[in-house]
Structure 1
């Protein structure tokens, strides 16, 4: 039996997405900037994808821009908006638990002379609103907060944060990394006062190398990729039509079945948490039910190294992650877990299980059966 529990790292491309991607590559393969009919046919895929996404977010079609994925989107949102607004201030606010595609651009801004503030979180990974209120100053030009944490599934109060930010200074740019949230919950950028939203395609069954951004009209953002002026000059380069077609279809599929999918993933999550909680020496770092994201379970296994457990499960056809899979293939100490105050002895013993709507309850049962057998054995080889 095989159980793929690493969907927060990447997802399988579904049949409906595969079909439209292949068609865009092999039949309607024109350059969408070309004026002949083959180019026009290619451009239709871009238009349809924009319409699908804009409808889901309830925003204007002209506010959607396609990227190569979450990393590019987050870099453009952070560096592009900071540079575009630096004449009005130099303070940027983020959190201590952001993905590396946000954390590293923030480090870059620090080197450029920006004052970057990293907000703490509580032991559930939720940002401290009181500290945010203290750190908001007249020099603040950008606030960047993730919607769902990619390691533990904490859902940040993005709506509350947006409302507060705009009440203090409506001109502050509010960026939300929604890479682990899109396809798992309703997102309304206008209602939540979000100026820039970033999404990655391969987290929702679209191809790798696809992504999109919502950029609210009149938001000041400097492009970071310059060239032929495609996408109104915001993101130059010939559009990746197959990838765009794929993410447009994947987005539609997710939200056509959102309620059903979320209920299914939440059931799997809660079942796994309940079963893992029965083991001695296992600490659950994620929350059950609707309090946390429906698809992520972080668990720490005392006296078992995360990479050892990962490979032991892999031998049984069960695939998980030793934290975030996006920075490198070498497990590192998690800044998220440190910020949450997780016991230092557990930092190297934490793994992530992440689901999609295609997972089954039988896979959870199989995983638990294997853990019952292997954990007593693995603990015998703990380093003293």
Structure 2
């Protein structure tokens, strides 16, 4: 690896709190694995001494595993990990069921609604492959994550298999195995039962032989062993079908040459669990104290924090929480900047914005969308916990410095805001413009999720909110305009969208337009019906020169009139395609083709656009702007386009008729080596860090000032639109934000833009 310039980075020690996703391999385990690779490397199937030494490692590890989980007369089979164990258990159970199934009865397959996705997906797969065609049914859970015993009692008589988990990977909630056992067997003595024990190892006591559990998979990498090694418990006389056939290893139950280094490492972990090593794990009682300490630090840092599970029925090594007003990504980025590793829910579902586990527990949507998981293992030490708690409070202070929380300890060091800020919730946008000199602000298309954040920002910055205005009546979300108006200017008289009544007017091109003053800028209201009959556009511009009738527009907030790669839909009851045609031509006449357009939706993370940028890919808009189409022809084409709009997931109303498949712009990518080489050349490359100010403050030297967070990217475009030839390289945490921003800049005409592939995450510092 080649280091990036040191002026960019301020290293912080790593604190890892994502053990439920995976763990580091402990030095003792790594040493055992390495010794096995170098010395005891024989094939356990060989009969010579080297092979016998290897076989001894397997036998010792197997016996240790049986003792740890209380396997009794049951079998322990070594696998590549939990997923293989799950496949083997389900295949074994369903293949056995197929041989004895009563086709006259209606059968089902039961699994916990909060089960890891590997379970229902595997059930679905083998149910189809084996042509069993049983109905898959999710067992509901209550608000604290406990399985519904009444549901099980009702459904299990017809179940060919039931799958539950001992400890949930997102919340740490554990199930009452004894109660489950009684409920299942009281209603069906023969159904096969698998329990996912991956998160239970080392955190709860297990005695599987004293239960009627048939199968239980485990994974080594969740408890300080290498990836690629796991094992599964199979109850004596439980049906078994080999998932991997071949050379007959594992007594013919799982073929393939054994992972000897992994087994040697696993053996060391078992010795530590049993207290047979000089290096032992932290006792359960102390782990509970660790959780209390972290929870207290989180509550100090974020007084409004909500914990998403009860500590009474969850293992002490998992804490799942949400912070009102912040998305999970924002908190993850905050902690990541402080070199504190956490996750948003399950690592196996990292691209999913909601937690299906918390949804199943019927928690409020915002908690599911904003969930953060902190998890640690039994190797955690008191010093690491102390350091983590200090880092949590330290990270939260960065939010206070950037006016995202009220922290009286850092209020004097707050960073002052000015210009245009873009806030996004899903595909919806709100826009806040601040005039620094007059300490005045205006909020456009206000989203309710941003109410608290705005109020804190206004208070922290000492801003005067001049107006809160919607560009139209929104059909896809609630506006918080009225509640904000009541709080900040209850006496102000406005129209239904929040525009102040009796505002001044100016004349442009012979027509009168109302405006309000915002420092040295004007905000002009223009009626632009079409998407809805009440739609308006707001133009932030320099004061109109009365003698020249000249209009210099910096930003056009046009709601859903023009969206990125789209025009607003016109098939609402209050829509009019004909009116939209007229509005589009009026907007061009007022703002020209280069002024930045700031819509109320951004479905493809393109941030902003202009008429020039849009007509290159939107043929219908291009025809309107070139007068190549009349109002009747436009109405016909627009109506046809709107018939193809599909609202997402059956719930989110799409406000634009997309012109076609979204095409990403190709971006030049740098790695650390090529970037360092480029910076050595006399080509005046400008590095831009795209992380939000609170992230940036936690991880950077103060001498480096080129910070342009995504919330300020549109402002950056406006400020540099006359210098699109400059060479820019964008940098962020993971490379995802920098890639999106680079694509946006290139689409808007910036000629030389690249980004650091993989961001800081893949480059040493």
> Which runs of 5 or more residues in structure 1 are unaligned?
none
> Which runs of 5 or more residues in structure 2 are unaligned?
1-12, 102-106, 406-422, 426-446, 448-765
d(CA) in 1 for partners of 2:347 and 2:47?
A: 41
1:365 corresponding residue in structure 2: 389
SS in 2 for 1:256: coil
From 125, 136, 149, the counterpart of 1:129: 149
d(CA) in 1 for partners of 2:368 and 2:70?
A: 40
Are the aligned partners of 1:304 and 1:349 in contact in 2 as well (CA < 8 Å)?
yes
From 76, 84, 92, the counterpart of 1:72: 84
From 223, 243, 263, the counterpart of 1:224: 243
Which has the higher relative contact order, 1 or 2, with Cα contacts under 8 A spaced 6 or more apart? 1
1:352 corresponding residue in structure 2: 373
1:212 corresponding residue in structure 2: 231
Tell whether 2:49 aligns with 1:37. Answer: yes
Tell whether 2:348 aligns with 1:326. Answer: yes
SS in 2 for 1:118: strand
1:240-280, Cα deviation, whole Å (9 max, x unpaired): 11111212221231232888432222111122223334534
- Equivalenced residue count is 381
SS in 1 for 2:233: strand
1:168 corresponding residue in structure 2: 187
SS in 1 for 2:390: helix
| TM-score, length of structure 2 as denominator length | 0.48
SS in 1 for 2:242: coil
d(CA) in 2 for partners of 1:5 and 1:175?
A: 29
Are the aligned partners of 2:16 and 2:342 in contact in 1 as well (CA < 8 Å)?
yes
Task: Choose 1 or 2 for highest CA Rg.
Answer: 2
Tell whether 2:176 aligns with 1:150. Answer: no
Deviation at 1:85, TM superposition (A): 2.1
2:139 corresponding residue in structure 1: 119
What RMSD in Å do the two structures reach over aligned CA positions?
Answer: 2.1
| TM-score, length of structure 1 as denominator length | 0.93
SS in 1 for 2:137: strand
Deviation at 1:140, TM superposition (A): 1.9
Deviation at 1:11, TM superposition (A): 1.0
1:341 corresponding residue in structure 2: 362
Tell whether 2:6 aligns with 1:15. Answer: no
SS in 1 for 2:212: coil
2:507 corresponding residue in structure 1: none
1:95 corresponding residue in structure 2: 112
2:296 corresponding residue in structure 1: 274
From 288, 309, 330, the counterpart of 1:286: 309
SS in 1 for 2:153: helix
Deviation at 1:295, TM superposition (A): 0.4
SS in 2 for 1:183: coil
Deviation at 1:108, TM superposition (A): 1.8
Distance 1:274 1:122, change over 3 A: farther
4+ residue runs over 6 A deviation: none
Are the aligned partners of 1:303 and 1:379 in contact in 2 as well (CA < 8 Å)?
no
Considering fraction of residues, name the structure with more helix.
Answer: 1
2:9 corresponding residue in structure 1: none
Are the aligned partners of 1:282 and 1:302 in contact in 2 as well (CA < 8 Å)?
yes
2:259 corresponding residue in structure 1: 240
Deviation at 1:147, TM superposition (A): 0.3
Are the aligned partners of 2:152 and 2:184 in contact in 1 as well (CA < 8 Å)?
no
Deviation at 1:375, TM superposition (A): 4.0
Considering fraction of residues, name the structure with more strand.
Answer: 2
1:59 corresponding residue in structure 2: 71
1:318-363, Cα deviation, whole Å (9 max, x unpaired): 0001111124x42442110110111112222111000123243313
Deviation at 1:101, TM superposition (A): 1.6
1:213-241, Cα deviation, whole Å (9 max, x unpaired): 01011100212211112112221111111
1:183-207, Cα deviation, whole Å (9 max, x unpaired): 1111011212211111100111111
